[in-house]
C-alpha cells in the first residue's frame, strides 16, 4: 500500500539534484531517505533511481512514477478548493514559473496586484531561463512561444509578434536591409534560449499579400529562410535588445519587449513588410489542476490584465 509520504519522496527526488538535497527538502537524514527509497522500490518491484557517488538520477520508471505522484498530490491539495463557494477567500499557495525577462517586467507586477486582491493566498514566483518543460512542480507555467509535445493544458493569454529591429545609428551607418537575404551582410545579434535553432530566421509575407500571388513561383517568393551568422550572442533578451539600441546590430525581439524602445525611438523596425513566426504568451496548467479556484482566478486575472485574445484566434 502506497502512502502520501511515498508520493512526496518521489516528487522530492525528481526535483533535487542529489539524495542529500532531497533529504533536506523532506527534513530527514540521507540514510533515512535512502532506506525509504529502497523500501518503496521493493514495494513497487521497480528500480526508481540510479545512485552514484555525486548525484542521483531517476530511471524512466522513476520519472513516470514521480510525474504521477506529483499529479496525485496536486489533486489532493486541490480537493478542498473544489468545494469552496465562489465567495470564499482564496487560500493555500500558488506556484508560478516564468521566463526571466517577461517574468520581471510583466508577471511580477501583475502578481503584486493579484496578491493585494487575495491577501490570504500565498504566491511563489520562480523565474528561470527555460521555465518549460522543466517546471513540472508549478501550478502555472508562463511560456513565450509555441508549445510542442505537452500533456499540459495551454491557455493563450496574449498574442506576441516578433520584430526585427535596429538602432537609427546603426541604420545610418550600414543602411537598412531590403530583403531577408540582405541580413547576411549585416551584424546580427542572436539570443540563445532553450535548445531552439536561433540562427535560422523564417520570414513570410502577410497572408493577404501571399494570397494575391498568381502562381506557385510567386507564392514561393512569399517565404524566405535565412541562416544568420551572429556577430554577437547572449542568453538574455534584455541584454541583446540593449546591444541593438547601442548600435551593435540587428536583433529579433518579441513585441512585448521591443514596443517601448520603438515608441521612444531607440529602435526602429526593419523589414516590417515581412512577418516572422509569432511567439504567443501562454499559460500552462496540469490537467488535474486546471479547475482549482486559485488557478482559475489567476488565469482570469492574467487574461483581464493582458487583454484576452479573441476566441477566433485561440
Q: What is the mean pLDDT of each run of 10 residues along the chain (314 residues)?
A: 84 78 82 87 86 73 84 72 62 90 92 94 88 71 78 83 95 95 95 77 74 52 88 91 96 92 96 90 75 86 76 34
Asked if the bond preceding 133 is cis, omega within 30° of 0, the reply is yes
Cell 486541490: give the residue: 78
Name the nearest CA neighbour of 99 among 248, 243, 237.
237
H-run or E-run covering 158:
strand 153-158
| pLDDT (0 to 100) of residue 78 | 66
CB 204 within 8 A of CB 163: no
Q: How far apart are alpha carbons 289 and 294 in whole angstroms?
A: 10
| pLDDT (0 to 100) of residue 279 | 87
* Sign, CA torsion 192/193/195/196: negative
Of the CA atoms within 13 Å of residue 67, those in its CB half-sphere come to 14
Q: pTM score, two decimals?
A: 0.65
Q: How far apart are alpha carbons 233 and 239 in whole angstroms?
A: 10
Query: Which residues face 127 on adjacent strands?
Result: 98
| pLDDT (0 to 100) of residue 195 | 61
How wide is the angle at C-alpha 122 spanned by C-alphas 121 and 124, nearest 5°?
140
Name the nearest CA neighbour of 192 among 249, 149, 232.
232
Kindly state the cell numbers that stand for 208: 493577404
Q: How far apart are alpha carbons 185 and 119 in whole angstroms?
A: 55
- 163 contact partners, CB below 8 Å, separation of at least 6: 252, 253, 254, 255, 258, 262, 269, 272, 276
Q: How far apart are alpha carbons 282 and 152 in whole angstroms?
A: 11
CB 183 within 8 A of CB 226: yes
Q: How far apart are alpha carbons 188 and 270 in whole angstroms?
A: 13
* Sign, CA torsion 102/105/108/109: negative
| pLDDT (0 to 100) of residue 75 | 72
* Sign, CA torsion 124/129/135/139: positive
First to last CA, the chain: 44
Q: How far apart are alpha carbons 236 and 75 in whole angstroms?
A: 36
Please give the sequence-ordered ranges of beta strands (E in DSSP) within 183-280, or none if there are none. Answer: 188-191, 200-204, 223-227, 232-234, 250-254, 268-269, 275-276
Task: Please report, for the chain, how many H helices and E strands are present, in that order.
Answer: 13, 15
CB neighbour burial string for 171-208, b if at least 16 within 10 angstroms, e if fewer:
beeeeebeebeebeebbbbbbebeeeebeebebbbeee
Q: How far apart are alpha carbons 271 and 206 in whole angstroms?
A: 12
Mapped onto helix, strand or coil, the DSSP state of residue 100 is: helix
Amino acid at each position: 500500500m502506497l502512502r502520501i509520504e511515498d508520493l512526496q519522496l518521489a516528487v522530492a527526488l525528481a526535483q533535487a539534484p542529489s539524495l542529500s538535497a532531497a533529504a533536506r527538502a523532506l527534513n530527514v537524514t540521507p540514510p533515512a531517505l535512502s532506506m525509504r527509497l529502497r523500501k518503496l522500490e521493493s514495494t513497487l518491484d521497480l528500480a526508481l533511481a540510479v545512485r552514484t557517488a555525486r548525484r542521483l538520477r531517476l530511471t524512466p520508471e522513476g520519472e513516470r512514477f514521480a510525474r504521477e505522484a506529483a499529479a496525485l498530490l496536486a489533486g489532493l491539495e486541490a480537493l478542498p478548493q473544489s468545494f469552496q463557494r465562489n465567495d470564499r477567500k482564496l487560500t493555500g499557495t500558488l506556484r508560478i514559473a516564468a521566463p526571466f525577462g517577461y517574468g520581471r517586467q510583466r508577471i511580477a507586477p501583475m502578481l503584486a496586484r493579484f496578491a493585494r486582491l487575495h491577501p490570504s493566498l500565498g504566491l511563489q514566483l520562480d523565474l528561470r531561463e527555460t521555465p518549460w518543460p522543466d517546471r513540472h512542480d508549478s501550478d502555472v507555467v508562463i511560456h513565450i512561444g509555441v508549445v510542442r509535445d505537452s500533456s499540459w493544458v495551454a491557455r493563450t493569454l496574449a498574442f506576441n509578434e516578433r520584430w526585427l529591429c535596429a538602432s537609427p545609428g546603426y541604420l545610418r551607418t550600414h543602411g537598412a536591409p531590403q530583403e531577408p537575404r540582405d541580413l547576411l551582410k549585416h551584424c546580427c545579434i542572436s539570443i540563445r534560449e532553450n535548445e531552439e535553432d536561433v540562427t535560422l530566421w523564417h520570414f513570410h509575407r502577410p497572408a493577404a499579400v501571399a494570397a494575391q500571388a498568381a502562381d506557385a513561383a510567386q507564392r514561393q517568393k512569399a517565404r524566405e529562410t535565412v541562416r544568420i551568422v551572429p556577430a554577437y550572442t547572449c542568453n538574455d533578451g534584455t541584454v541583446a535588445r540593449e546591444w541593438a539600441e547601442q548600435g551593435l546590430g540587428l536583433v529579433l525581439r518579441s513585441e512585448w519587449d521591443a514596443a517601448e524602445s520603438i515608441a521612444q525611438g531607440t529602435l526602429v523596425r526593419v523589414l516590417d513588410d515581412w512577418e516572422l513566426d509569432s511567439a504567443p504568451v501562454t499559460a500552462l496548467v496540469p490537467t488535474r489542476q486546471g479547475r482549482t479556484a486559485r488557478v482559475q482566478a489567476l488565469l482570469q486575472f492574467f487574461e483581464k490584465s493582458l487583454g484576452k485574445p479573441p476566441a477566433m484566434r485561440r
